[in-house]
Amino acid sequence: MAVKPLSAAKLKKFEALIQSELKESTAYVDDINKDQSIGARESSGDLSSYAYHQADQGSDTNLMEQTVMMMEQEREKIRALNDALQKIYAGSYGICEMCGENIDVTRLEIIPYAKYCISCMEKMEDKKRKQKK
């Protein structure tokens, strides 16, 4: 199967989609950054709030860990979205990095930053599953 590049109209659509997701993810990460700096300022203030934070540390830590994980995921997504944008400009968007075939457009509509086609993705996940066993 020959690779056929996406039409200019489709590329435009994906570019807009990626940019809006990028904006959302960036805003989300910014929000958390702001929240965390406010929290740090508060806890460095008076001792009574420090004691309160100590008592509540168990759930705080948990929440922090979750937030850090979410941040990591979001940052990963931002990286992938930026990569996808570069590919749009380079004319290699929508092509699987593994086999060089077209990635299904319906897949791109769900995950606009997908790097691999479904069959390569399945192969990789299969491998991962086998490695775990």
The Cα-based distances of 91 to 5, 12, 53, 57, 85 in angstroms read: 8, 12, 52, 50, 10
Nearest approach, Cβ of 71 to Zn ion (angstroms)? 30
Closer CB to Zn ion, residue 22 or residue 108? 108
In one-letter notation, the amino acid at residue 103 is: I
Closer CB to Zn ion, residue 29 or residue 120? 120
Closer CB to Zn ion, residue 10 or residue 115? 115
Nearest approach, Cβ of 96 to Zn ion (angstroms)? 3
Residues lying near Zn ion in the complex (CB under 5 A) are found at 96, 98-99, 117, 120
Nearest approach, Cβ of 122 to Zn ion (angstroms)? 10
